A and B are shown apart, each in its own frame.
Chain A
Amino acid sequence: MKRILLVAVMLTTLPCLAVSEMAGDVPLYQEQAIAAGIEHQYDGPWENFVGGGVATFDCNGDRLPEVFIAGGANESALYINRSEPAGKLSFVRDESMVTRIKQVNGAYPINLDNDEWIDLIVLRLGQNILLKGRGDCQFTQANASFEFDGGAAWSTAFAASFYGEDKYPTLAIGNYVDRSAPGSPWGTCSDNMLYRPQVSNNGKVTYSEAFALSPGHCALSILFTDWNRSGIDSLRVTNDRQYHRGGEEQLWKVADQYPRLYSRADGWQSLVIWGMGIAEGDLNADGFPEYALTSMGDTKLQAVDVQQAVEENRPAYEDIAFDRGATAHRPYIGEDLKPSTGWHAEFSDVNNDTLLDLFITKGNVERMKDFAAFDPDNLLLGMHDGRFSEQGDTAGIALDTRGRGAVVADFNVDGLQDLLVVNRSAPVSLFRHMGFKSEYGPRVGGNWLGIELNQKGGNRHAVGARLSIKTGNVVQTRRVSVGGGHASGKLGFIHAGLGVAERATVRVQWPDGEWSAAYRVFANQFVVITRGDEQVSYWYPPEPDSK
């Protein structure tokens, strides 16, 4: 009898106890590009249907992230960040010729020579360019000094990793359609290229030797990833089935002298999509990354089969996008039921609730009638049950633009993740995170941390390092990574939402595998962790009147 009563009460009350889909904070974004001084447009013919990337990094030492934006047929532009801490976004365009480059598809920040300043790799239709940072946001073209040929391909993707005891990064460049090959564009994909650092006796690094990662299948995003937690990166490539013939998604084993593809025999499962962008994030903090793969149609969310990865070294994946509500396969507002077209993907905790969220740019390639014309960017907020909730409309980012590359970054150093989206044939969107939706207007949200890693010697910015961030019984992980997304990358503070935790214990697994001791840090702070230091430094942005 008791059991019957219990069932009865469950039936009557469970629907009430269930909370509406998104019970947590929804960010409120406000588009402010023009007001913030960013007036820029990515445009051009067929070759610029793809690309449209942005790199964000600090080039003048004030720790506020600048942005370098591709222009396609237009000139690229570097915007210096003059935002008021926790206040108005403000950027000033750099007028020097060196950063005004045509036929730029995208860009990634990377420190090539371990000096104080971050450098840029500029991906182009034609020769790629290395811009060496010299401080105060001054750059020089440095292809010659790095003996970097730059190629002549249609470059669309980049990733960097540090192997073994290398002090300098290994670079991978993803290339798209080979327009000069017979039959182009169908089935004519350029090879992707791998550049290992060559260090001379006097310690100078060059990138004179390129290794072709053949076959290429028209890559639109590449990512170095430690998929099996071995400490050794592989290269994940997402390819556009629109142009390749017989191609598929790829995973390269590149640590050995001669890279090779993971094959069926190795456990690689064929996947053929209109691959546009890759993001990795560790949704369940098990140390094994999950991947978001954008495409035309549904987004894939892949979880590695841990048992096969660890015990058999086999890269087998399960697609969990449907179960998690992350397929984002068609526009979430409007009447258009046609498939969506996804580009940049990036995991970040935009509502500071400790759960990773997924931001995806969307946009029709160019009047493709079989795909949605109005295709707003996605903001998939992670929920406590492991699923995602689409909140792009409520958040204010559902604009009628064709998004391409993007970055999720805190431009005004207030602990809230802003968005910059490069749109095709339309002005850049700069969404300032205003706080969280409430009946009283934007309100404060969860606690957060911004973490900067430094180490002496090589790999100054600790690319490849892992962070373990513990609050109570909850652990989050982050990885310092340069690559992926869609033609867009970043280096800077690593953001973590802390929810209601006021403190966190942070451990760093440095790129060489060594774990740090636990650092005790307080919430709502930017911290700088320098390898070997017993304590973190706290960093505070300049007061408005001290800039």
Chain B
Amino acid sequence: MIARRLIRVCTLGLIVIPGLQVVLADNNIQPAWSDAAIHNHIELNDYSGELSKEKLDSLVRAGQSLFSASFTSADGVGRPMATQAIIPTKRKRPPRSEFARTAGLDANACVSCHHQPIAGGAGDFTANVFVSEGFQLSDFDSTDPQFSNERNTNHLFGAGLVELLAREMTTDLQQIRKDALLEARSKQETVKKVMASKGVTFGEILAHPDGRIDTRNIKGVDHDLIVKPFSQKGVMTSLRQFTVNALNHHHGMQATERFGARWTGTDDHDEDSTLAEMTAGDVSALVAYQATLKVPSGKQLTPEWLAASKRGSELFDQLSCNSCHMRTLPLDSLTFTDPGPFDAAGTLRQGESGKPAIYDLAHYLSTLERNEQGQWLVPLFGDLKRHVIADSQVSQLGNELLSQRFVERNEFMTAELWGVGSTAPYGHRGDITTLTEVIAAHGGDARSARDQYIELNESQRSDINAFLKSLVIEP
């Protein structure tokens, strides 16, 4: 807030010298013909508490506008003295060129990568990004795999449901830990508990009577038991966190909630002379847009394709593909709260601003079926769990050299298959052109299913293709 006040003072006192790039992004007075892509920044307080459908529509529209906007230097594009790192990190000297495929800036707009088959979708190999830790010296920004991992762009359809599922799973897992500790303290003996939520198991913990938890046998989730459903690696907690990361990485648009004076000591961390480039309200709008993107649906099929798809669907289960690519996960509530409950400092959290925005995703995602318990069945074909996906014989998907955020290099989040028919190429690097090839590349935990798939005859593999290609994002 202090920073924003300063900006207003500065706005009044600014002497405009033509041709100079001293830009104040937070002004709400940009004319339509200006160089800036953002003409109105969103005020967080305008969207707090329970949002009506109309209010949510307004926020989503604002988010859609930001998602498709081609940001410019007038908005704050560029970070000459900051790296792409998630933790605000200064460069020692500016890069020779601001735009670079390696460390970013590598895009002008969110939609420039997330566009396949429509806005919010996935990206081709050309839209790959390079994930590194954000070195201080741009000299180390390199496509060399010892310095960065190359990743393909995921689609975002149904992302609000994915985040809600992850939140409920996190709550379940943390409750198991709590119960285990209570029991261990009560019985004064070590207690073992299986970690499971929504039919997905995450290994087990040992709870000791002194309050310690042995996490060695936890599988597929971080030891803080926060299910992080986003990114190929499954290391991002929320759409909000991912949005703040991506804005900085890809555009050099720095969100105040992480790169502002509170955490960096300066209002202009990246030293591009633009302040308050992305307000908390702007981020909220982007979150609302992504959270309300529709659920990928089944394709209208010809009778022949439908028959093949049905056979493929049965084979999918027979091969136990569905043990990880679970057809549905049950969700208790469609109420989305932003900020969410499990983010850490640097991503806006509940209690850091006024009331969070609360909205009902049912306004946008009403096509979901419900089970007998009244839970919404989210047809994501995933388990929101990380698995080892490469082994010594089948190693193609273990082709990275760097672990990321403590997750080993051969371990990735189960790819959600909803929309898979619309989002080739495949694999986390986007370097596999067909479904057949990517299934054959499954090693590690998926090796058995993959081997059975290889043993199928051509017709059966075609049926599986027919099934998977029916899972599309309709334009």
Contact = CB atoms under 8 A, between A and B. Distances in A.
Given A473-B136, A543-B182, A538 B345 contact: no
Contacts of A12: 13-15, 17
Interface stretch (B81-89, B93-101, B160-168): B81-89
B405 A537 contact: no
B178 A543 contact: yes
B346 interface: yes
B181 A384 contact: no
Contact of B215 (A445, A474, A535, A543): A535
A202 interface: no
Interface in A213-246: none
Contacts of A538: 212-213, 215, 223-224
Contacts of B10: 13, 16-17
What interface size band does chain A fall in? 35 or more
A6 B17 CA distance: 10
Interface string B36-78: 0000000000000000000000000000000000000000000
Interface stretch (B144-152, B255-263, B295-303, B392-400): B255-263
A514 interface: no
Interface stretch (B264-272, B311-319, B325-333, B452-460): B264-272
Contact of B17 (A5, A17, A542): A5
Contact of B406 (A17, A385, A520): A520
A472 B10 CA distance: 33
Contacts of A63: 210-211
A522 interface: yes
Contacts of B215: 535, 537-538
Contact of A384 (B135, B185, B214, B264): B264
Given A9-B20, A16-B13, A501-B87, A540 B406 contact: no
B352 A499 contact: no
A541 B273 CA distance: 46
Nearest to A6: B20
B262 A540 contact: no
A12 B264 CA distance: 23
Contact of A499 (B185, B208, B346): B346
B20 A542 contact: no
Interface stretch (B1-9, B415-423, B435-443): B1-9
Given A500-B88, A538-B215, A539-B213, A24 B178 contact: no
Contact of B182 (A444, A473, A546): A546
A531 to B, nearest CB: 15
A500 B346 contact: yes
Interface string B332-349: 000000000000111001
Contacts of A23: 2-3, 261-262, 265-266
Contacts of B89: 472-473
Contacts of A546: 181-182, 185-186
B351 interface: yes
A437 to B, nearest CB: 11
Nearest to A441: B351
A13 B14 contact: yes
Nearest to B353: A440
A540 B174 CA distance: 11
Interface in B176-196: 177-178, 181-182, 185-186
Given A5-B19, A16-B6, A472 B352 contact: no
A443 B89 CA distance: 24
What interface size band does chain B fall in? 35 or more
A546 B211 CA distance: 11
Contact of A502 (B22, B182, B267, B344): B344
Contacts of B135: 473
B48 to A, nearest CB: 11
A501 B136 CA distance: 17
Contacts of B406: 503, 520
A471 interface: yes
B345 A499 contact: yes
Interface in A494-547: 498-503, 520, 522-525, 528, 534-535, 537-543, 546
A66 interface: no
Given A9-B22, A445-B345, A24 B263 contact: yes
A539 B212 contact: yes
B181 A17 contact: no
A500 B258 contact: yes
Nearest to B9: A16
A352 B273 CA distance: 28
Contact of A13 (B22, B181, B208): B22
Tell me which of A16, A63, A546 has the highest count of chain B C-beta atoms within 10 A of its own C-beta.
A16
Interface in B193-221: 208, 210-216
Nearest to B10: A16
Nearest to A10: B22
B411 to A, nearest CB: 14
A212 interface: no
A447 interface: yes
Contacts of A537: 208, 212-215
14 contacts: A12-B17, A16-B7, A17-B266, A17-B275, A19-B266, A352-B345, A384-B266, A440-B354, A444-B349, A472-B133, A499-B263, A503-B405, A522-B223, A540-B177
| 4 A-B pairs closest in CB distance | A500-B346, A384-B265, A16-B10, A472-B87
Interface of B: 1-3, 6-7, 9-10, 13-15, 17, 19-20, 22, 85-89, 133-136, 177-178, 181-182, 185-186, 208, 210-216, 222-224, 258, 261-268, 273, 275, 344-346, 349, 351-354, 405-406
Given A383-B265, A439-B1, 5 more contacts: A20-B6, A23-B261, A24-B262, A440-B354, A539-B213
